[in-house]
A and B are shown apart, each in its own frame.
Chain A
């Protein structure tokens, strides 16, 4: 079958999709967007989390046909998504979202290295994950970023308990979650300063 949907703001058309394929498979193997990860493919780990019409979902549990005509945001589109949110004045209350410039100005010394992918535009939550040391192997990172960005959009001043609750569907095996907590707190603080 053919599936037409929007990914990260761009219309996409996937051909020859077998009915049993997941959204995750179509993103990774047919659209060249492997950022969403395949750690369990059974909805337990959250590594494939994407926004479907704004709602975070495990893309491995969404049949490709279900996304016909709908909008998907993946980790590859997170920076654009955050930028658009900022340009549109943030979410309803206007209290969330931060200027990308402000976030990037806060890059600490030592970030410049030959392999940092310098110059890449990042969402504040992405920069915070790097700065806080929340990335080790990085396989859980894309799903956590999408989930954390969604939480900060809805709840710009989360308590620690709020953060843990919002990220409880995302497994990480490397970090023990402490640096992930730090990263989300950092992103929220920067967001607050930028308002």
Chain B
């Protein structure tokens, strides 16, 4: 790129234990791998207890209604039914919960606000009995008008989804049906527009996506003799669940003992509570263990989804291709309850300009309360919706200027030192231009790749596949590019800490480290990485990872690409403290035998204490003897601050993560069928602690973005606000046939603020995947395509 010579970053430095096998940087294998391939790994739906009952939730059949009456008599009379509970049976005055705003009723009281809201719960001795009993509960509803979009939500006479709001956003929103509003204003857009030779605008619609984790919401609550309850559960954050559960049960937190069960994926969908409180209520009511397992239908109602969005964008550029300004408005539909909507607003707004240097910016972002399904966290968290819009704009603008689309992006790419629209300087490597260069440089898949050696068409490689709809006629190739920016960690002043307990002792004649955190292992491989960190820092071969529970301090959420950074950082920190104690022990025992104990920098490597020159001073087995050295400590990354409520200025984010994609698609233009042939990704990860896991994260995130582009959407009836497709028959996620090869190029430029220089990985690839696929389809068809997902009728002009 002409005129760009800034250094890309510094190589990663590791000061301790690099000689220990199985440490950071190696593709060590998952410690839970064998259990998972043999079927022995105990997921939350696999829990079983002697004499246990099955819980079932009765959900509203309408989206917005007053509850006139509930009659549970017939359900209670059914043989095998042990308990039926409604709002009136809740044990305390705390009857709502919520991650930030406690606006979500445990069971509906007088009114339901969305389709599928919990109204009553049942416990019975067989799941089918529980289902039948729930069906016998008679609920009389009186329908209310439904609020489904911005116009109906903010009309002057709109019915309020929540009356008498007192939450911290209620004072600065223009209407009580707006959860939160965040403007980001920098520079002078009106003046900058005057400098623009080209101005492009676009209106974009982003569909509601479901996390579609495969392990259903489930768990087992076991009542205890002390009046408390033991809960075995799949969640993303044990301590956050606990804080919400205990007050509703009327129990102190130490009487709600939570243990992490196997988690069958999460992707944001397990940040909010699902069946946790219901199972505990039924267990405490019946005195018996209660298991609840959602089926897939219920799962579609049982967790929040990714916010659907309407995005209006205007960009300008000079004739030599420099961006002049951005004016944008982003409207997110938060549905009936707040969940994490306010934080999603902060993300969509602050990252709404994308990874580009733009001085003059005016972004306004709101989340609405409506009667649609509640929306909250999903991988990418607000940044995904924005990326879809700004990347479509970049292509339009490049075309208007007459530049190559990738070169246009590279010319305007942010780099280290660039100020974001929030005024925050990007103070670690931001290799946006380099990632674009790399992804463009990858070899392209061959043209007419469906032709086999004998020149016959393998229909499996064509749009439509085995439906045999084409042998190549009408098929057009398209190529598209996109790049995105995601924040890592919790933002806007949140105290985003984690806790790790690390112990070192001799077991069976070998030094062993034990790591205990409350980190939710949801599949991402945190447990693998914790063991690697302990080996690197403590120089041991054997590491035991304790099951996550609430007997140790909070690890924060497995969200926001933060766990390797924050809980990884906590494990590293506690290991360092343990190491100091072990060395102190060594000095006391053996210091008099060798002067290096006092003078040299000492390391733990290969089970020994060594000097930085490599001289062995003692065996860890001898240093430790019968003693065990243990540390539990909290660890924090540098603090952030809230965005100014009027201007959006502030040091809001901890770290940024960047990925770029190139999509190659083939479109059957006659039938509107799309086959994505290849989806290449280049991403900067700072430091690849486990390269195998990182590539797996990138490929998985990429595929979820592909799903948004061409198939995934929860369809909500605009008249009734009812969900139309709550099943894997009607809500499609990519199969192995829909998913292309995903070559990955991993860049490692250290962020000096982060442990080992690492960068959160999990979410960035979900951002740019979708707009790259959309760009490729536009490239193939010449259509504007301003909505996700692209459906056949959008390509054939029939819908």
Contacts and interface: CB of A to CB of B under 8 A. Distances in A.
Interface stretch (A61-69, A84-92, A95-103, A139-147): A139-147
A133 B696 contact: yes
Contact of B466 (A20, A118, A165, A175): A165
Interface string A144-176: 010000000000000001011101111111111
Contacts of A116: 29, 31, 33-34
A141 B34 CA distance: 11
Interface in A17-63: 18, 20-21, 28-29, 32-42, 44-45, 47
Contacts of B40: 35, 76, 117
**Taking each of B128, B522, B702, B735, which has the highest tally of chain A beta carbons within 10 Å of its own beta carbon?**
B735
Contacts of B798: none
Contact of A34 (B46, B295, B692): B46
**Taking each of B527, B695, B701, B736, which has the highest tally of chain A beta carbons within 10 Å of its own beta carbon?**
B736
A176 B46 CA distance: 25
Contact of A165 (B29, B37, B39, B737): B737
B561 interface: no
Contacts of B41: 138
Contact of A173 (B30, B39, B214, B693): B214
A93 B775 CA distance: 48
Given A167-B736, A176-B742, A177-B703, A39 B296 contact: yes
B43 A139 contact: yes
B517 interface: no
A117 B265 contact: no
B32 interface: yes
Given A137-B214, A140-B214, A120 B700 contact: no
Interface string B294-312: 0111000000000000000
B543 A113 contact: yes
A28 B46 contact: yes
Nearest to A145: B37
Interface in B210-227: 211-216
A72 interface: no
A7 to B, nearest CB: 12
Interface string B493-528: 000000000000000000010000000001111010
Contacts of B700: 136, 173-176
B38 A126 contact: yes
Contacts of A21: 128
Contact of B34 (A122, A161, A171): A122
Nearest to B744: A178
B727 interface: yes
A138 B262 contact: yes
B216 A39 contact: yes
A79 interface: yes
Given A114-B543, A164-B460, A122 B38 contact: yes
A108 B46 CA distance: 31
Nearest to A127: B37
Interface residues of A, number: 70
B35 A117 contact: yes
Contacts of A188: none
B418 interface: no
A139 B531 contact: no
B293 A38 contact: yes
B516 to A, nearest CB: 13
Given A115-B544, A171-B735, A177-B736, A138 B36 contact: yes
Given A110-B26, A137-B523, A139-B43, A75 B38 contact: yes
A164 B728 contact: no
A86 B519 CA distance: 41
Contact of A172 (B32, B46, B214, B262): B214
A42 B728 contact: yes
A161 B215 contact: no
Contact of B525 (A47, A76, A136): A136
A179 interface: yes
**Taking each of B522, B524, B728, B742, which has the highest tally of chain A beta carbons within 10 Å of its own beta carbon?**
B728
Interface string B7-46: 0000000000000011000111111111111111111011
A61 to B, nearest CB: 13
Given A37-B214, A168-B735, A76 B545 contact: no
Contacts of A191: none
A38 B736 contact: no
A40 B26 CA distance: 36
A87 B702 CA distance: 42
A180 B736 contact: yes
Contacts of A115: 31-32, 35, 527, 544-545
A130 interface: yes
Contacts of A47: 214
Contacts of A127: 37
Contacts of A180: 736
A114 B542 contact: yes
B677 to A, nearest CB: 13
B739 A176 contact: yes
B733 interface: yes
5 contacts: A34-B39, A113-B31, A114-B543, A137-B215, A145-B37
The 6 closest A-B pairs by CB, nearest first: A35-B39, A137-B523, A138-B36, A139-B264, A176-B699, A117-B34
Interface of A: 18, 20-21, 28-29, 32-42, 44-45, 47, 74-76, 78-79, 108-111, 113-118, 120, 122, 126-127, 129-131, 133, 135-142, 145, 161, 163-165, 167-181
Given A18-B128, A113-B531, A120-B38, 13 more contacts: A34-B39, A34-B43, A34-B46, A40-B296, A109-B21, A110-B27, A114-B31, A114-B545, A115-B35, A145-B37, A168-B737, A173-B267, A176-B742
